[in-house]
Amino acid sequence: MRKFLLNYVLPRIGQYIMVVFIGVTVTFIIPRLSPTDPVQAQISRTMTSGVQYTQEMLDDFRASLTALYGLEGSGWEQYLEFWHRLFRGDLGRSLSSFPTPVMELINRSMPWTLGLLLTATIISWILGNILGGLASYYPKNKFLISLDVLSQALRPIPYYILALLLIVFFAYIWPVFPIRGAYPMGMRPSRTLKFALTVLYYSFLPALSLVIGGVGSWFIGMKSLTSNIISEDYVVYAETAGLKERKILFGYVMRNALLPQVTGLALSLGMIFNGALILEVIFTYPGIGLLAYQAILNTDYTLIMGIAIFSIIGIATASLILDLIYPLFDPRVRIQ
């Protein structure tokens, strides 16, 4: 156990820390290479709204913004202050929603993205793997053959194209689902069954577009993997020994085929923030993707930095969790 911790767990934790450190450092550097001065941009935006400043007030305002955005001192001093704020959970103030903190905006949007994309990703992974394993083990089943053909047709179609097709069919041709937002305008979020059912109703179309595309990809992947495993000697021996088909399929075939699929799931979970952008813009869903889109339009570099940092940490954490639980699926890792 000690050898496993020293040779496997600790190196991966070290890699995780290094990845986060490098990613956050790059996030700090890149916005500072932009020719746009965020302080001057905020002052110009304020003055455009009709506010009049004397020169003394303007100087004080500039000094306050410079301190607020952590732009005081040399580049090294700014870098140290950046990490100091980051450890306190302070990502600065949003330029476009001043003076709202970036962390507050992200905290508002994050549950919507996680609730939609995390749920849809896990559902598509479970359905795709189960159906793909069944299709490989029962190649003559007509329903599974039809599902295989459908998966081959849907796999190359981007999820946002599926989303647009679903909108056309279910919101215009057959108007049964809404196409904008996570709940009706004027409705206040609450911890009630009525609000939860409303959110499920509004999120059905965006979730369906992700599940349809995801099931097709996981289905094809699992079918390909299990097709190779079925011919292995230990599977043939289990069939000859008279074990139940269910035991062979789930205990011998699909369990061994799940290893690369688990890797793919971890990467998919880590890339949730990237997948949120287009989908949430299409459905005007109040998650991280829509927030990032608005930040880009408004050149809100502090908010963009905050979202980028959360994305880096999310991807790195998903990879770390995968590495730590992988020995549970493959005992050979513990032995080695």
Residue-wise pLDDT tens digits, 259-296 = 778 777 777 766 666 656 777 788 888 888 888 888 87
What confidence score (pLDDT) does residue 69 get? 62
pLDDT of residue 119 exceeding 80 = yes
Taking only the tens place, the pLDDT of each residue in 10-61 is: 777 888 888 888 888 887 777 667 666 666 666 666 666 665 666 666 666 6
Q: What is residue 324's predicted lDDT score, i.e. its pLDDT?
A: 76
Mean pLDDT, the chain, rounded, equals 76
Q: Contact at 8 Å (CB) between 254 and 134?
A: no
Q: What is the DSSP letter of 187?
A: P
Write out pLDDT tens, residues 226-241. 877 777 777 777 777 7
- Find where tokens 């094809």 sit: 220
Question: The pTM is what?
Answer: 0.74
Enumerate domains of the chain plus CATH numbers. Answer: 109-299 (1.10.3720.10)
Beta bridge partners of 101: 93
pLDDT of residue 164: 81
Residue 193 has pLDDT above 80, yes or no: yes
Buried b (16+ CB within 10 A) or exposed e, 74-102: eeeeebeebeeeeeeeebbbbbbbeeebb
| Percent of all residues in the chain with a pLDDT value above 70, rounded to a whole number | 78
Residue 38 β-bridge partners: none
How many residues would you count in the chain? 336
pLDDT digits (tens, 9 = 90+) for 152-180: 777 777 777 877 888 888 878 888 888 77
Contact 170, 205 (CB under 8 A): yes
For the residues of 61-77, what is the DSSP string, one character each? HHHHHHHHTT--S-HHH
